[in-house]
Amino acid sequence: MRTLFSVAFALVAGLLMTRPLSRFKLPDVTAYLIAGLLIGPSLLGGLNIPGLGFNNTEMLSALSILSDTALGFIAFSIGSEFRADALKQTGKQALVIGVFQAVVATLLVDLALLAFHFMFPEVLSIPAVITLGAIASATAPAATMMVVRQYKAKGELTKLLLPIVALDDAVGLVLFAVSFGAARAIADGKASLFIILAEPMIEIVGSLAIGGIAGWVLTQLEKLFHSNTNRLAMTVAFVLLTVALSMLEWEVAGIRIGFSSLLVCMMLGTVFANLCPLSEDLMGKADRWTAPLMVLFFVVSGAELELSVLASVAVVLAGVVYIVTRCIGKYYGAYVSAKATHCSPNVVKYLGITLFPQAGVALGMCVTARTLGADGELIRSIVLFAVLVYEIFGPLMTKWALTKAGDISPVPEEVKNRRETKLAEAAAKRAE
């Protein structure tokens, strides 16, 4: 009962928060995150008043399965951006930009934090610098996808953005593998570079293989049904199945074998979108079916943000350097590579801004970074501070960039007038 009450409370709080913030033209995802922050343990939830928000992290952990499921559906939807016909037009550009901007962000953050290390060697160690640089490559697909959906963004920038955000997960894992391997070697001199590098590569290849096989099986099973309702149910079941499979983990010869739910579900969506003739319609219906799940995901994400990280001056200073240099790296990395691949001026100018959001993948990397001991805890605190900033302001900047690029069209005055007329008529009827 308590879990159901928490789910209902989170949904209502997130939806109600969109009303006052709509006056400021903020994206709904920002409202959900702010609602979560307000009712989370850092603020109202911390008052320990029964029924008022999430009182502790245990309550949030109880909803983690719903958050994992929501992220799986987001990745499944992003996978549809890798349709063969679309890749013929933008595949090369997306690949070049996706890799280049991630590498540039990593290098710039490494250099900036290295300078910070020489100024404050007691605060930030070399292994922490190298690890944070790798984490900087990751971009959050969830917030970006929600902004695109809410405003029905369409255009050249949106077509490029979604595949790039999807590629970021794989690129980030590779960069993290190389950087963290070096960090571990410097930290204790005993780490096996083979194991550290092999684990992420197995995770990437294994995740893509599981997702690909599941996508093919789903396509074959869809042929057995003639009802779209049953086909939709089968599609939802397979997303849930792949999320569950991605949670499997075991160890072989000292090597941890695990999978990325983002990559597994993304590959499921990619294969399904390219093999099933009805995939576009079914994926559209799945998106509408999961709308409340997405609200819950972002409210819980907001509740998980920890304001306690602001208490440390060292964390805030290092976090500011991390945030600023990462944004510079993302922006100019995208700017240079988009220009080199002959993208339109609007894409060149605004693409980098849409790559600022950061959350889930980066926090997942922090879990691995904890093996560095005290450095690992510092890395987590810095990334949490950055995520707090990115998650609140990132969706707003993404909306602004897509609007300036012409991918988000303003609501025509005719539509606004029609809505106002209908609301006035309804009010008049109630008055009668």
- Look at the block and give the residue holding tokens 């590569």: 201
**pLDDT (0 to 100) of residue 323:** 93
**pLDDT (0 to 100) of residue 401:** 92
First to last CA, the chain: 41
**pLDDT (0 to 100) of residue 420:** 61
Task: Return the amino acid letter for 361.
Answer: V
Average pLDDT of span 226-255? 87
Selection from 285, 264, 324 nearest residue 116 by Cα: 324
**pLDDT (0 to 100) of residue 90:** 74
Secondary structure in 3-state letters for 212-223: HHHHHHHHHHHC
What share of the chain has pLDDT > 70, as a percent? 91
Distance of CA 342 to the CA centre of its chain: 27
Average pLDDT of span 39-49? 80
pLDDT, greater one: 309 or 408:
408
Say which DSSP state 151 is in: T
User: What pLDDT band is residue 413 in, cutting at 50, 70 and 90?
Assistant: very low
User: What pLDDT band is residue 314 in, cutting at 50, 70 and 90?
Assistant: confident
pLDDT tens for residues 131-179? 899 889 888 777 888 888 888 888 889 888 888 887 887 788 778 877 8
Inform me whether the pLDDT recorded for 258 exceeds 50: yes
Q: CB–CB of 376/370 below 8 Å?
A: yes
pLDDT, greater one: 158 or 419:
158
Inform me whether the pLDDT recorded for 191 exceeds 70: no
259 φ, ψ (degrees, to nearest 5)? -135, 160
User: What pLDDT band is residue 30 in, cutting at 50, 70 and 90?
Assistant: confident
pLDDT tens for residues 204-227? 888 889 999 999 999 999 989 888
**pLDDT (0 to 100) of residue 34:** 87
Average pLDDT of span 382-387? 84
User: What pLDDT band is residue 286 in, cutting at 50, 70 and 90?
Assistant: confident
**pLDDT (0 to 100) of residue 51:** 67
**pLDDT (0 to 100) of residue 402:** 92
**pLDDT (0 to 100) of residue 174:** 78
**pLDDT (0 to 100) of residue 337:** 93
**pLDDT (0 to 100) of residue 235:** 92
Say which DSSP state 411 is in: P
What share of the chain has pLDDT > 90, as a percent? 22
pLDDT, greater one: 107 or 43:
107
Inform me whether the pLDDT recorded for 415 exceeds 50: no
**pLDDT (0 to 100) of residue 55:** 78
Q: CA separation (Å) from 426 to 147, 275, 420, 429, 431?
A: 30, 46, 10, 5, 9
Q: CB–CB of 29/150 below 8 Å?
A: yes
* Residue 329 CB coordination number (10 Å): 27
**Average pLDDT of every residue of the chain:** 83
Average pLDDT of span 322-350? 93
Average pLDDT of span 415-424? 58
**pLDDT (0 to 100) of residue 213:** 95
